[in-house]
Amino acid sequence: GLEYVWNKILFIRGGYKFNVDEQDYSFGAGLNVPISIAEFTLDYSFSNFQRLGSAHRFSIILGF
């Protein structure tokens, strides 16, 4: 897989699993927003599963 980071704010990633029957490609993006006393991060990922369909994952992280 690969990940590209721009200014420690925007993260774009993607990958592929070889020789795995169930899952093949995935991709995602994240946004890191520093606010006065904390750090706010939004993250999204997509994974393609052959028999189960696709999975969308979202996360919100607040760090101090």
| DSSP single-letter state for residue 37 | T
H/E element, 57: strand 53-63
pLDDT tens-digit profile of 48-59?
A: 888 888 999 999
Indicate the pLDDT class of residue 34, thresholds 50, 70 and 90.
confident
Per-residue pLDDT band at 33 (split at 50, 70, 90): very high
